[in-house]
Amino acid sequence: MTKRARWADYPELLETRSKRGVIKVSTLVSMGMHSRTIYRRCLPGDRWQRLLPGVVLLRNGEPTQEQRMIAALLYAGPSAMVTGVEACLRQGIRPRVLPQLNYVHVLVPHEHKIKSSEFVVTERTRRLPVPVLQGSLALAPLPRATVDAVRRITNPETAGQLLSEVVQQGHCSAEELGWELENGGQRGTAVPRKALSEWGSLRSVAESRAKKIADGLSPPPSHWNVPVHDEYGNYIGCPDAWWDDVGLAWEIDSAEFHFSLSGYSRTIDRNTRYAKAGISCVQTLPSHLTKKPDAVRAALVSAYRSAADRPRPRVRLMMPTR
């Protein structure tokens, strides 16, 4: 009489040993399943399907993107992590600023010679970061994931939108992105390097001038470049300067501060969010900081008084983590 394997007596073991139904062939074999049985169950029209070499899904039908990512990590090895567009998406970057890709980008240690296969693009690196863990997924930290994404985006407009989103929403700083660009692979970095350099130079000069004006105010801003959220934790904006006692925002805006022309439409969206939250916002052109400093100062004083005369909006600051 043929001895039945553990998986045959306890079929629920298959699901418990898998991740979202994704499992390595070697794991199935270790449970006593014969390779011929695995092959047969993955034939077209049968109950399972092969996702990648050595990795199967314990059901048929279209796999979810999470299952594809899990399969990519199982294929690439225990030290692998997802980076690029998918890692950005999983860490809060809005889909509309990310390109739609048909592959999963995975980082692996340099000494592991894992080749790209089917929907998985592997990249060997000597500088493997500590991953961000989300359930069954290991993700590259957002600064690294962003840089890995823009290095593979050929459209400068799309790359600029992603950089703008990450910095302006307070997910990470331009300095962090710059460090990743300097210390990582150089292929594909020309466009993001130029954009960060020009944007950073413009911002630093304008912010320095703004702080000189603010030094003469009473009271001066309580915070600079700190994200503001509503009472439910929803992101509103990251003003250049903020008076927390009255809920007043100061934004130094112009199209030249955006990585792309479409970025200016996001300024309009942001101002709408300010208005809905009851936040007063003073907008200043960078040129006015130099040419009309007295007018800028007077506008801020007037705006502060008006903000102080109404109830403070129910918003709060959220310091970005690094």
pLDDT digits (tens, 9 = 90+) for 117-128: 899 999 999 989
Is residue 37 in a domain? yes
pTM value? 0.62
Residue 316: CB partners within 8 Å, gap ≥ 6? 228, 229, 230, 231
Q: What is the pLDDT of residue 187?
A: 75
Q: In terms of domains, do 215 and 304 share one?
A: yes
* Edge-to-edge strand list for the sheet holding 315-317: 235-237, 228-230, 315-317
Q: In terms of domains, do 96 and 186 share one?
A: yes
Q: Phi/psi of residue 265, each to 5°?
A: -65, -30
* Edge-to-edge strand list for the sheet holding 55-57: 22-24, 55-57, 49-52
| Residue numbers of the domain that contains 96 | 81-115+126-198
Which of 198, 222, 249 is a domain's end point? 198
Q: In terms of domains, do 248 and 309 share one?
A: yes
pLDDT average, residue stretch 255-270? 59
In the predicted structure, residue 76 carries a pLDDT above the cut 90: yes
Which of 169, 198, 227 is a domain's end point? 198
Q: What is the pLDDT of residue 260?
A: 47
**How do residues 174-209 score in pLDDT, each as one tens digit?**
778 877 877 776 776 676 776 666 565 556 567 778
Q: In terms of domains, do 172 and 236 share one?
A: no
Q: In terms of domains, do 36 and 97 share one?
A: no
In the predicted structure, residue 233 carries a pLDDT above the cut 90: no
pLDDT average, residue stretch 216-222? 93
Q: In terms of domains, do 223 and 294 share one?
A: yes
Is residue 190 in a domain? yes
Residue 304: CB partners within 8 Å, gap ≥ 6? 217, 219, 243, 246, 248
**Six-digit token string for 157:** 């407009």
Q: What is the pLDDT of residue 150?
A: 87
Residue 53: CB partners within 8 Å, gap ≥ 6? 75, 117
- Total structural domains within the chain: 3
Could you tell me which residue, 274 or 322, shows the higher pLDDT? 274
Q: In terms of domains, do 243 and 188 share one?
A: no
Provide the residue count of the chain. Answer: 322
